């Protein structure tokens, strides 16, 4: 198991904690900028994308990231788009169930990546809009950075 001690129920709770009041291009850009600034402050070698459906609204490839991160992001995005759950939730749930995630969903690991770093962007009405994607760190760290930074972004909104 490459996901540490994470459990699917914990990951679902994390998804619920990052529900957005609304989502549009301006918010996508604001979230992307917020994540980029947080990553730059920590000198993280990551790539970040914010997608509205399949449309990339925001993209940043920070120092130390590589073109291979684009492939990982695309594959993680397909998992989030397919399931409307985080890519790490999907991996952990499959591990808990003893299932082959790719076989279960009828997709290939060449097109989909059930690895941490893909977070669904869902509004308060429960509508799925797209995904926040991070690649460049070990999968649990990609996931944790995305969740923690999105929580910080939302906390900032509530303070203003």
Instruction: Determine if the pTM surpasses 0.85.
Output: yes
Q: What is the pLDDT of residues 11-41, one digit of tens each?
A: 999 999 999 999 999 999 999 999 999 999 9
Domains and CATH numbers, the chain: 8-159 (3.30.450.150)
| Dist. CA 70–CA 66, nearest whole Å | 8
Query: Which residue, chain included where needed, has tokens 């989502």?
Result: 23
94-111 pLDDT per residue, tens: 999 999 999 999 999 999
> Collapsing DSSP states into helix, strand and coil, what is residue 112?
coil
Q: Which token pair is 53?
A: 């459906």
């Amino acid at each position: 198991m490459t996901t540490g001690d994470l459990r699917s129920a914990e990951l679902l709770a994390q998804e619920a904690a990052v529900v957005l009041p609304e989502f549009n291009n301006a918010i996508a850009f604001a979230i992307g900028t917020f994540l980029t600034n947080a990553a730059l402050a920590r000198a993280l070698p990551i790539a970040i994308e914010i997608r509205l459906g399949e449309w990339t609204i925001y993209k940043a490839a920070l120092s130390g990231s590589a073109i291979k991160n684009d492939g990982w992001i695309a594959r993680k995005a397909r998992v989030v788009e397919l399931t409307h759950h985080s890519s790490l939730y999907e991996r952990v749930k499959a591990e808990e169930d003893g299932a082959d995630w790719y076989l279960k969903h009828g997709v290939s690991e060449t097109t989909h990546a059930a690895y941490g770093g893909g977070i669904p962007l869902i509004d308060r009405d429960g509508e799925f809009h797209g995904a926040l994607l991070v690649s460049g760190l070990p999968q649990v760290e990609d996931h944790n950075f995305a969740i923690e930074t999105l929580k910080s972004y939302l906390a900032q909104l509530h303070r203003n």
